Amino acid sequence: MRLDDLDYDLPASLIAQFPTERREDARLMVVDRQAGATRDARITDLPSLLKPGDLLVVNETRVRPARLGLVRSSTGGRVELLFVRRVAEASDSATWVVLARPARPMRAGTRLERADVGLVVEALTAGAGGERIVRVVRGSLEEALKRAGQVPLPPYIRRAPVEADRERYQTVFANVEGAVAAPTAGLHFSQPLLAALEHRGIDVSRIVLHVGPGTFRPVVHADPGEHPMDAEYFEVSPATADRALASRTRGGRIVAVGTTVVRALESACDACGGRLGAASGWTRKLILPPYRFQAIDVLLTNFHLPRTTLLPLVAAFAGVELTRHAYREAVERRYRFYSYGDAMLVV
């Protein structure tokens, strides 16, 4: 496929700027691959749309309040850092990969500080734009982010974060901190909805994939296969792998809640020779049409930006033409798009 195969026109008014009043209030488009058709539903219909014996797999990553404003020690100029991840090969836990805004050139040795939380960091690598490496030289980054960090809302949400985002930009099963973006399909679940699914005989199991900023990075190559994927850490536990295999053996389906779950499960299959098993590590998994899925049978996902890696993944599962049809229908029926928007269930 080519990059422009999945382009679509989206009125700005359809980009959700705030979540629905309740998590489960979102609309749901059901995309039937066998019939090649779509129909309207609600997130609250999920218990009746899924089957007893199905296994719902969710991502329990937790979004870190990773965006922090600092000033240059030498000039007082303001710089905002997004703390993406610790440097795995560093000898201490105080060395981080960050994104800077504004992305003006920063010399190695430049110091940035935040006096009210007692934090000083030093740039170890130079450059303008892109990632760079910093080291905490004074204070506690964990405490600074807890006290003054902001939730890193996606760039298409054209407003400053509010206090409510600290709770609503997390899933109710968020448990393992490490992401800088939410696994947005999981934002639709509330405890009452999970209870209704359990009552229906639909089990829930968890994986971890710490979502990085690459989820929003546009694909610039005409051939998306040339896109360099960011590394993201994932874990599929033995318990989750065993429950998924047992569910399939009993005739149930593996329902992936979001593209991050797809990438984690498919990465685990790659690590285990094509059969779903326990695995962990760093993945750069890129899924494009055509692709033979090894680990999932149903996909719940939000509507995604064109020219990113997420929409081709959906098209690989649903089919390119059906995906294009579904997105045209979503625009015409005025579904809400992106992180705080509505969802589609591909069956």
Q: What's the token pair of residue 238?
A: 């033995």
Inter-residue contact 25 to 188 (CB < 8 Å): no
Per-residue pLDDT, 258: 98
Helix/strand/coil (H/E/C) assignment for every residue in the chain: CCHHHHCCCCCHHHECCCCCCCHHHCEEEEEECCCCEEEEEEHHHHHHHCCCCCEEEEECEEECCCEEEEEECCCCCEEEEEEEEECCCCCCCCEEEEEEECCCCECCCCEEEEHHHCEEEEECCCECCCEEEEEEEECCHHHHHHHHCECCCCCCCCCCCCCCHHHHCCCCCCCEEEECCCCHHHHHCCHHHHHHHHHCCCEEEEEEECCCHHHHCCCCCCCHHHCCCCCEEEEECHHHHHHHHHHHHCCCCEEEECHHHHHHHHHHHHHCCCCCCCEEEEECCCCCCCCCCCCCCEEEEECCCCCCCHHHHHHHHHCHHHHHHHHHHHHHCCCCECCCCCEEEEC
d(CA 261, CA 56): 10
Other Cβ atoms closer than 10 A to 14: 16
How many Cα atoms sit within 13 Å of 346 on the Cβ side? 27
Per-residue pLDDT, 92: 67
Q: What's the token pair of residue 315?
A: 């098209």
d(CA 135, CA 318): 44
d(CA 207, CA 238): 10
Q: What's the token pair of residue 237?
A: 């536990």
Domains assigned to the chain: 3-63+164-346 (3.40.1780.10), 67-148 (2.40.10)
Per-residue pLDDT, 131: 82
Q: 235: which strand partners?
A: 208, 280
d(CA 54, CA 77): 54
Tens of each residue's pLDDT in the chain, 347 residues:
787 889 999 999 999 999 999 999 999 999 999 999 999 999 999 999 999 999 999 999 999 999 999 999 999 999 999 999 988 666 567 999 999 988 777 888 999 999 999 999 999 987 656 788 999 999 999 999 999 999 999 999 999 999 999 999 999 999 999 999 999 999 999 999 999 999 999 999 999 999 999 888 888 888 889 999 989 999 999 999 999 999 999 999 999 999 999 999 999 999 999 999 999 999 999 999 999 999 999 999 999 999 999 999 999 999 999 999 999 999 999 999 999 999 999 99
pTM beyond 0.85, yes or no:
yes
Q: What single-letter amino acid sits at 65?
A: P
